[in-house]
Structure 1
Amino acid sequence: MELSWRQPPAVSQRITAEVIAMDLDEGRVRLSMAATGNPELWAFLRSLHRGEILSGTVTAIERFGVFVALDDGPDHPVFPGVGFITIPELSWRHFEAASDVVQVGQHILCVFLQFDTWNGEARLSLRATQPDAFQAFVDGIAVGQTLRGKVTKLVPFGVFVQVTGGIEGLVHLRELASMPPDTPESVVQVGDEVSVVVTEIDREKRRLALSRRQASPSADLR
């Protein structure tokens, strides 16, 4: 059962709640007091359709996502906006912080994904309004092709190499040199320009696997 955002009920207290879901297999009914206490909000959220384009203003940026006050939507009784964008739905490209993509006060267009009945909010996607640069890029390359790129990040299991604007691939530690190094720092540093061979393209997970070793068979430690 979903409780009211304002005051949870006491034991034996009589309440009014709305059925929002049923599980016939488990014999369970999901109720919401928040729904009955905020009929305008619930009516608005129920009127939305997946894929619908909505407009609004960014009202708050948190580490877990971005709140959006929708132009045609009501106020939320708790949150700074009835719309919410999770971090993965902000952009197709890699970014360090949500503020790299949007700013408070910015007016944006988003795609409606679903009605979050637990929080009483519209889950939105900003990246769905943008072309996916990764898919466009891999349309023009193939496994076995050699690319040039810049090392952008070192991690214990390898390095990330940017092969074009915003598109990065992973060179696993074993693919860094002819003799697998103990650490990536012994082979490359952030900012180095390297040649890499495409070893795998995963469109569904949007991942690119690369090999420096195959591009330079004589590649060795620094």
Structure 2
Amino acid sequence: MTGGPSENPELWAFLESLRCGDLLSGTVTAIERFGVFVALDDGPDHPVFPGVGFITIPDLSWRRFEAASDVVQVGQKVSCEFVQFDTWNLEARLSLRATEPDPFQAFADGIAMGQTLHGQVTKLAPFGVFVQVADGIEGLVHLRELTRTPVESPSDVVQVGDEVTVIVTEIDRERRKLALSRRQDSSDHW
């Protein structure tokens, strides 16, 4: 899209010199629905884009958010980890979340299988409900784990915002997934 080494030799050489894990600082120049452009403090400008650095939406934060502007603002200074050289767009793929500890791992250190947690329903899906059990930590109560008696839809028994008691049935650190159940609860009421 933006040419090879011969068209932008300075930029190409700069990007090739970067290593995964390098910390790069810059300024947020544009927020798009597909990600965020960052003008790097060091290195050349980009011939087409508003910045050589680019952060994809998932790499902005460990936490759930509605829009990129909930995490960063245009003009904000950021320090990001270099992830890879995108040779097609001639940009440095960056991660902002890599510079912060993963809250899921810290949370997983403090809980055990079978433990009871209290949380709030954040989202209903056809296959179950998501429950926030700590700041930035959500788990899934699968539809079959919602009640002792089968239900057609999560909305038959719960609404977003409801406070619920759940039991930890699976902790998957690698995939950062937490499986929860309500079936062991002595009561079938929410």
**TM-score, length of structure 1 as denominator length:** 0.83
Aligned partner of 1:127 in structure 2 is 97
- How is 1:5-84 mapped onto 2 (pairs within 5 angstroms)? 5=2, 33-84=3-54
* Structure 2 residue identity aligned to 1:48: L
Q: CA deviation at 1:217?
A: 3.7
Indicate the residue corresponding to 1:187 in structure 2: 157
Larger radius of gyration: 1
Which letter maps to 2:93?
R
Superposition deviation, residue 147 in structure 1: 0.3
Query: For residues 217 and 77 of structure 1, what CA distance do their matches in structure 2 show?
Result: 63
- The alpha-carbon deviation at position 98 of structure 1 amounts to 1.0
Counterpart for residue 78 of structure 2: 108
Paired with 2:32 and 2:5, the residues of 1 have a C-alpha distance of 25
- Tell me whether 1:91 sits opposite 2:61 in the alignment: yes
- Kindly report structure 1 stretches of 4+ aligned residues shifted beyond 2 Å: none
Secondary structure, counterpart of 1:174 in structure 2: helix
User: Which amino acid counterpart does residue 178 of structure 1 have in structure 2?
Assistant: R
Which structure is richer in relative contact order (CA contacts within 8 A, separation 6 or more)? 2
RMSD: 1.2
Answer whether contact 1:45 1:121 (CA < 8 A) is retained: yes
Note the C-alpha offset of 1:74. Answer: 1.1
Count, aligned residues: 190
**TM-score calculated relative to the size of structure 2:** 0.96
Mapped partners of 2:122, 2:91: distance in 1: 36
Is 1:219 matched up with 2:188? yes
Q: 2:169 aligns with which of 199, 202, 214?
A: 199
What are the ranges of 5 or more consecutive residues in structure 2 without an aligned counterpart? none
Q: Find the residue that maps to 1:34 and give its secondary structure.
A: coil
Once residues 150 and 172 of structure 2 are traced to their aligned partners in structure 1, the CA distance between those partners, rounded to angstroms, is 24
Contact (CA 8 Å) 1:54, 1:70: kept in 2 or not?
Answer: yes
Task: State the secondary structure of the residue aligned to 1:36.
Answer: coil
Matched, 1:117 2:84: no
The answer to whether the 8 A contact 1:178-1:218 is kept is no
Separation (CA, whole Å) in 2 of partners of 1:171 and 1:136: 21
Aligned to 1:175: 145
- Quick one: distance in 2 between partners of 1:218 and 1:136? 30
Q: Percent identity?
A: 76
